[in-house]
Amino acid sequence: MESNNQIIEILDNTNITNPIRIVRPKKEKIHYIEWDVIKDGLNQIDKPSAKILITTLAYTGLRVSEIINIKKEDINFKDGYMEVMHLKSRKFLRRIIPIRDELKNLLFFTSSNLNAKDKLFPYTRQYVFQLTRKFFVTHPHTFRHSFAVHFLRTSKNPMALQILMNLLGHSNINTTMEYLKIVPSDIKKALDEIEM
């Protein structure tokens, strides 16, 4: 029996007084793509809508459900940020995501003929999966992981983990800390740079 990402194992179903043991499944390994591979792959995509969608996945770390629900009115092109809505525990949560200039220009281009309430990417989750499978032989969530790993590897901000947590929309810092397991050599390098 499954409940909240846990497996409840009944040790003896003939004895109702027998204790129930909760077995937490092992966390899957985080799969990501190196940043230079992503950039090379993006340069190979000749279909503009696919290129802009995958660029948005790679440059923001957004979930697929967040990407396909972005409307033109959610983007502030003047100040360079977007407001993203995500459904979590039956509540809609909103957060502000800054966007890099190169992505802002692409989004401005793709939304130029849209009305304020129109979606930037009026696609299904399945279609986004097909695109990432076709061009990168992976699934969309890999780009979220890739964004997080690249951010932690390259950020020089001492609050990088907290900033990443906010960018990804994690409610618990422990979820964000999972990415630290991927960059131990980078953590050592940062430690070596500290004067003692």
Q: Could you report the per-residue pLDDT of 14-27, keeping only the tens digit for each?
A: 555 555 555 555 56
> 91 is in which domain, residue-wise?
35-192
pLDDT of residue 2: 44
- Report, as an integer, the average pLDDT of 75-102: 86
Q: Is the pLDDT of residue 102 over 80?
A: yes
In a domain, 53, yes or no: yes
- Report, as an integer, the average pLDDT of 79-91: 80
In a domain, 90, yes or no: yes
Which residues are within 8 A (CB) of 133 and not within 5 positions of it... i.e. 6 or more apart? Answer: 139
Between CA 35 and CA 44, with CA 38 as vertex, the angle to 5 degrees is: 150
Average of per-residue pLDDT values in the chain: 84
pLDDT of residue 10: 45
pLDDT of residue 185: 57
Of 110, 68, 72, 60, nearest to 86 by C-alpha is: 68
What's the CA gap between 42 and 52, in Å, rounded? 9
Q: Is the pTM of this model over 0.85?
A: no
| DSSP 3-state of 81 | strand
In a domain, 20, yes or no: no
Q: Is the pLDDT of residue 1 over 60?
A: no
In a domain, 80, yes or no: yes
In a domain, 56, yes or no: yes
Structural domains of the chain, count: 1
CATH number of the domain within which 48 lies: 1.10.443.10
Task: Collect contacts of 110-119 with beta carbons under 8 A, ≥24 apart.
Answer: 110/48, 110/49, 110/52, 111/72, 111/75, 114/72, 115/72, 116/71, 116/72, 116/73, 117/71, 117/72, 117/73, 118/71, 118/72, 119/68, 119/69, 119/70, 119/71
pLDDT tens column, 25-50: 556 678 899 999 999 999 999 999 99
In a domain, 94, yes or no: yes
In a domain, 129, yes or no: yes
pLDDT tens column, 118-137: 999 999 999 999 999 999 99
Of 158, 167, 161, 159, nearest to 182 by C-alpha is: 161
**C-alpha pair distances (Å), 43 with each of 109, 121, 134, 136:** 17, 20, 14, 12
In a domain, 16, yes or no: no
pLDDT of residue 183: 74
